[in-house]
Amino acid sequence: MAYPLERGVGTVVTVARRRARSFFSAHPARTVVLAFGGVVVVGTVLLMLPLATEDGGAPSALTALFTSTSAVCVTGLAVVDTGTYWSGFGEGVILALIQVGGFGIMTMASLLALLVSGRLRLRMQLTAQAETKSLGIGDVRRVLLGVAGTTLMVELAVGAFLALRFRFGYGNGTGDAAYLGFFHAVSAFNNAGFGLHADSLTRYAQDPWVTLPIAVAVILGGIGFPVLLEMLRHRNRARTTGRKNWTLHTRLTVITTVVLLVVGTVLTGLLEWTNPATLGAHDVWGKFLNSFFYSAMSRTAGFNSLDIGALHASTLLMTCMLMFIGGGSAGTAGGIKVTTFAVLAAAILAEVRGEPNSVVLGRRLAPHVLRQALTVALLGVGLVMSATLALLSVSKASFEAVLFEVVSAFATVGLSTGITADLPAAGQLILVVLMFIGRIGPITLVSALALRERTRRYELPEERPVIG
């Protein structure tokens, strides 16, 4: 016979279990946030082991946390040199964290469940949909397999090419060349920017056989998995009919990406052409090569073939704008995404013209798309400004260096003027939070923190405040 107190305790435990189950299953985005946080914690614990460092000494908790967050969030900012501070085990942990973070922890979990059971449960499909930005639940299985196949194909191809270049072009041993090639290939496709050289890729600034494959991998990873899968799916159809039939999202992403790459290349060349510490030290071909490479890295990855600390202030500001825009949706890049930027540009153009609707490439944009784009952009601006103010209050670095560092962390780019390791502990923790928020996205974070969705069943009177 159960006593009243026992029944009361049992009821409390049951209610607590139901609430916990409801907390994790009410919205898939919440699971994404918690899963990424869990991976960061696991990576931090592994990197704190003495086995993870070259000298056998256990790193500080802050160093391990910063490196783990940077790897999982595919950023590339570092407080220690990856190639000299971490051991082979530590570098392996970092590479695994990069792969898991880039692939998406929920996508990885969904794929494992699919391989084991051969099917996906509805809740797992919803979770995977939140991570991959798939348009329909029925497409999740195809998306997961496509993501895995595309990731493996690009990383193996670029890794093999780089390994051959390092082996026969620079005289590295077979094992070292393969390790260098595949490490940089995984880091590039996942837009992580982690390298095994203290000077990143500066030593290869004149070698297109190294910089161009890495740039291609970065662009492919940053353009977004939905775009890549759609382009591959319609490849055969384009051969037979001559028409690509891409969706608006794919067309918008590809066009905006190409425009930003060209604009970044031109502006970098114009601003740094005579700077003896950057482009001024190269011939004409080297100037164009490094301008393009810098433009590609500025929006997605943290590799650099130029000394970032020697760039003009105008170039740093231009880079901040490119980093803030970022890459494609559902890819390994950060930022507010190119589609957000394009939608906002279309809204501004429509308002200037006095048109009632925003039109892009012959399609009218839905009102909720404009609201989402505006929300993402304003949240991003608010986070960057708040973090810049906080970092300036705890650091003695210049304003442009701090702003550059903050935008790089928020957009998960990883470029730095060299102040990361010199920041105080409070400043590094600010960057940790920024990298985490930048990876999971402001909208995902807000959705995960929301307790429940509310639908208003009535309309309020309309009013028009004065604007401007």
Q: What is the pLDDT of residues 87-115, one digit of tens each?
A: 999 999 999 999 998 887 657 555 555 55
Residue 281 has pLDDT above 70, yes or no: yes
Would 192 be classed as within a structural domain? yes
For the cut 80, the answer to whether the pLDDT of residue 165 exceeds it is yes
Q: Which helix (H) or strand (E) holds 363?
A: strand 363-364
Residue 90 inside a domain? The answer is yes
* Span 306-338, pLDDT tens digits: 999 999 999 999 999 999 999 888 778 889 999
* pLDDT above 80: residue 3: no
C-beta of residue 86 within 8 angstroms of C-beta of residue 53: yes
User: Residue 138's domain spans which residues?
Assistant: 24-448
Contact between 393 and 402 (Cβ < 8 Å):
no
Determine, yes or no, domain membership for 413: yes
pLDDT at residue 279 tops 70: yes
For residue 343, CA distances in Å to 92, 125, 327, 350, 392 come to: 40, 28, 14, 10, 32
Q: What is the DSSP letter of 59?
A: P
Return d(Cα 198, Cα 178) in angstroms, integer.
Answer: 19
Angle at 287 between CA 286 and CA 290, to 5 degrees: 80
pLDDT of res. 109: 52
Domain assignment present for 1: no
Interior CA angle at 37 toward 35 and 40, to 5°? 110
Token pair listed for 140: 């999740």
pLDDT score recorded for residue 411: 94
Q: How many domains does the chain have?
A: 1
In a domain, 458, yes or no: no
Instruction: Summarize pLDDT for 112-130 with one digit per residue, the tens.
Output: 555 545 555 555 566 666 6
Name the band, by pLDDT with cuts 50, 70 and 90, for residue 360.
confident
Residue 265 phi, psi (nearest 5)? -65, -45
Q: Are 261 and 322 in contact (CB under 8 A)?
A: no
Give, as one character, the DSSP assignment of residue 281. G
Q: What is the pLDDT of residue 71?
A: 95
Average pLDDT over residues 424-442: 91
Sign for the CA dihedral angle at 115, 116, 122, 124 comes to negative
Indicate if the alpha-carbon torsion angle 221, 78, 314, 273 is positive or negative: negative
Residues 6+ away with beta carbon under 8 Å from 287: 269, 273, 279
Mean pLDDT to the nearest integer, 425-433:
96
Q: Which residue's structure tokens are 């807000």?
A: 446
| 8 A C-beta contact, residue 290 and residue 205 | yes
Helix 105-117 and helix 122-132: axis angle, to 10°?
Answer: 140
**Do the domain assignments include residue 55?**
yes
Whether the pTM exceeds 0.85: the reply is yes
**Candidate from 22-26, 140-144, 238-242, 342-346 with smallest mean pLDDT:** 22-26
Q: Residue 454 has what pLDDT?
A: 59
Share of the chain above pLDDT 70, in %: 81
In a domain, 467, yes or no: no
In a domain, 409, yes or no: yes
